[in-house]
């Protein structure tokens, strides 16, 4: 989340995040509650592990409280 205010603290993470399977292969639909002061939401994903910082990749940016993430791989066994 990016805020238009100049502040030392980062904006709060969005709450009520929902991820739903899309009708389209390789896509997921995300939506979340509005974060006070946010002007841009930066969505990232990590196909390896949340603990692996260098594996995070941009999934998109939006000014809305929803985003369709594309180019995802199906679950593997």
Q: Residue 8 pLDDT more than 80?
A: no
Q: What is the pTM of this model?
A: 0.76
Token pair listed for 21: 């399977």
Say what the alpha-carbon torsion angle 32, 2, 6, 13 is, to the nearest 10 degrees: 40
Spatial separation of the C-alpha atoms in residues 30 and 69, rounded to whole Å: 7
Encode pLDDT of 15-47 as tens digits.
999 999 988 889 999 999 999 888 999 999 988
Q: How confident is the model at residue 62 (pLDDT cuts 50, 70, 90)?
A: very high
Task: List CB contacts of 73: < 8 A, sequence separation 6 or more.
Answer: 26, 47
């Amino acid at each position: 989340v990016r805020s238009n205010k100049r502040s030392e603290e980062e904006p709060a993470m969005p709450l009520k995040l929902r991820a739903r399977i899309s009708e389209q292969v390789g896509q997921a639909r995300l939506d979340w509650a509005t974060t006070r002061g946010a002007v841009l939401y930066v969505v990232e994903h990590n196909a390896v592990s949340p603990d692996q910082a260098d594996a995070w990749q941009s999934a998109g940016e939006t000014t809305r409280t929803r985003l369709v993430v594309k180019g995802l791989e199906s679950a593997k066994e």
